[in-house]
Amino acid sequence: MTKNIMSCETVALDNEHNVLLIVDQTKLPGRVEILSLTKQEDIHRAISSLQVRGAPAIGVAAAFGAYLAACGISSNDYDDFSRKFKKSCDYLASSRPTAVNLFWALGRMERVVSGSKNLPVSEIKDMLRDEAIRIRNEDAEVCRAIGEYGLTLVNDGDGIMTHCNAGQLATVRYGTALAPIHLGRSRGYGFRVFACETRPLLQGARLTALELMDDGVDTTLICDNMASSVMKRGWVQEVFVGCDRVAANGDSCNKIGTSGLAILAKYYDIPFYVCAPTSTIDMSAKSGQDIHIEERAPDEVTELWYRERMAPAGVKVYNPAFDVADSELITGIVTERGIARPPYSDSLASIQNMRNL
Query: Across-strand partners of 19?
Result: 14
98, 293 contact by CB (below 8 A): yes
Radius of gyration (C-alpha) of the chain in whole angstroms: 20
Which H or E run includes 131?
A: helix 121-151
Rounded Cα gap, residues 194 and 59, in angstroms: 28
Q: Is the peptide bond before 320 cis (omega within 30 degrees of 0)?
A: no
Strands 238-241 and 159-162: parallel
Q: Which of 244, 251, 282, 323 is catalytic?
A: 244
Catalytic residue flag (residue 326):
no
Q: Can you point out the beta strands (E) in the chain?
A: 11-14, 19-23, 34-37, 159-162, 192-196, 218-222, 238-241, 245-247, 252-255, 272-275, 281-282, 322-325, 332-335, 338-340
DSSP assignment, residue 156?
Answer: T
CA atoms in the 13 A half-sphere facing the CB of 62: 31
Q: Which residues are catalytic?
A: 244
